[in-house]
Chains A and B, each alone.
Chain A
Amino acid sequence: MAELIKFSKRQTQVAAVKVERREQYLAFTLAGETFAMDIRAIREVIQFGGITDVPLMPPFIRGVINLRGAVVPVIDLSVRFGRAATAPAQRTCIVIIELEQGEDTLDLGVMVDNVSEVLSIGESEIEPAPAFGSGIRSEFIAGVAKVGDRFVILLDVNHVLSVEELSEIIG
Chain B
Amino acid sequence: MDLDAARQTYIIEARELLEAMEEALLALEEAGDPTEPVNAMFRAVHTIKGSAGLFGLDGIVHFAHTVESVLDRVRGHQVALEGELIGLMLEAHDHLGGLIADLQADQPESPASRLQGEQILARLAPHLGGGLTKAAPQAPEAPEGAVREGWHLSIRFGRDVFRNGMDPLSFVRFLGTLGRITHLTSIFSSLPQREAFEPEDCHLGLEIELDTAASRAAIEDVFEFVREDSLIQLVPPNALVEDYLRLIRALPEEERFLGEILVAGGCLTAHELSQALAVQKQEARQEGARLLGTILIEDNAVPPPVVAAALDKQKKAAERQTQELRVIKVSADKLDRLVDLVGELVIAGATAHARAAAAQGGGGLLEATQTVNKLVEEIRDNALSLRMVQIGETFNRFRRIVRDVSKELGKAIELEIHGAETELDKTIVEKLSDPLMHIVRNAIDHGIEPVDVRQARGKPESGTLFLQASHEAGSIIIEVSDDGGGLNKDRILAKAIERGLVRADAELTDNEIINLIFEPGFSTADAVSNLSGRGVGMDVVRRNIDELRGTIEVETAPGQGTTMRMRLPLTLAIIDGFRVEVAGASYVAPLDVVIECLDLAPFLESEENHLINLRGEVLPFLRLREVFRIPGERPRRERVVVIQHGELRAGIVVDRLMGEFQTVIKPLGRLFRGARGLGGSTILGTGEVALILDVAQLVQLAAEGTAAPSRRALAAPTH
Chain A: residues with CB nearer than 8 A to chain B? 50, 52-57, 61, 63-66, 69-71, 73, 101, 106, 108, 163, 166-167, 170-171
Contacts and interface: CB of A to CB of B under 8 A. Distances in A.
B494 interface: no
Contact of B666 (A50, A71, A106, A166): A71
A70 B669 CA distance: 11
A51 to B, nearest CB: 8
Given A50-B687, A66-B683, A167 B666 contact: no
B716 interface: no
Interface string B333-353: 000000000001001000000
Interface in B664-693: 666-678, 681, 683, 687-691
B409 interface: no
A73 B672 contact: yes
Contacts of A50: 687-689
B344 A171 contact: no
B688 A66 contact: yes
The 8 tightest CB contacts between A and B, nearest first, are A171-B674, A55-B628, A52-B689, A71-B666, A71-B681, A64-B689, A170-B674, A66-B683
A52 B629 contact: no
A63 B678 CA distance: 13
A52 B675 contact: no
Given A56-B628, A73-B669, A170-B673, 16 more contacts: A50-B687, A52-B691, A54-B668, A56-B677, A56-B714, A57-B672, A61-B671, A66-B688, A66-B689, A71-B667, A71-B669, A71-B683, A166-B671, A167-B672, A167-B674, A170-B674
A149 to B, nearest CB: 39
Contacts of B674: 167, 170-171
B528 interface: no
A171 B668 CA distance: 14
Given A64-B689, A66-B688, A71-B683, A55 B629 contact: yes
B142 interface: no
Contact of B344 (A52, A53, A65, A69): A69
Interface string B689-711: 11100000000000000000000
B671 A52 contact: no
A64 B675 CA distance: 13
A16 to B, nearest CB: 41
Contact of B670 (A61, A71, A167): A167
Nearest to B347: A69
Given A66-B688, A69-B344, A53 B585 contact: yes
Contacts of B681: 52, 64, 71
Contacts of B677: 55-56
B690 A52 contact: yes
Contacts of A52: 585, 681, 688-691
A73 B671 contact: yes
A56 B690 CA distance: 15
Given A69-B347, A71-B689, A167 B683 contact: no
B376 to A, nearest CB: 15
B675 A170 contact: yes
Given A52-B690, A54-B678, A167 B671 contact: yes
A167 B690 contact: no
Contacts of B672: 54, 57, 73, 167, 170
B297 interface: no
Nearest to A164: B670
B453 interface: no
B332 interface: no
Measured as residues with beta carbon below 8 angstroms from the partner, the interface class of chain B is 20 to 34
A69 B688 CA distance: 10
A57 to B, nearest CB: 7
B557 interface: no
Given A106-B669, A167-B670, A54 B683 contact: no
B344 A56 contact: no
Nearest to B582: A55
A50 B687 CA distance: 8
Contact of A55 (B630, B671, B688, B690): B630
A163 B670 contact: yes
Residue among A56, A57, A170 facing the most chain B CB atoms (10 A cut-off): A56
Nearest to A51: B689
Contacts of A163: 670-671
9 contacts: A50-B689, A52-B681, A55-B691, A56-B629, A57-B675, A64-B668, A71-B683, A71-B689, A170-B674
B689 A171 contact: no
A57 B691 CA distance: 13
A21 to B, nearest CB: 33
A153 B332 CA distance: 46
Given A55-B630, A56-B629, A71 B675 contact: no
B674 to A, nearest CB: 3
Contacts of A71: 666-669, 681, 683, 689
Contacts of B629: 55-56
Nearest to A73: B671
B632 to A, nearest CB: 12
Nearest to A52: B689
Contacts of A61: 671
Contacts of B668: 54, 64, 71, 73
Residue among B344, B585, B669, B689 facing the most chain A CB atoms (10 A cut-off): B689
Nearest to A61: B671
A167 B673 CA distance: 7
Contacts of B627: 55
Contacts of A66: 683, 687-689
B687 A56 contact: no
Contacts of A167: 670-674
Interface string B168-205: 00000000000000000000000000000000000000
Nearest to B630: A55
Contacts of B630: 53, 55
A69 B671 contact: no
Interface in B297-339: none
Contacts of B687: 50, 66
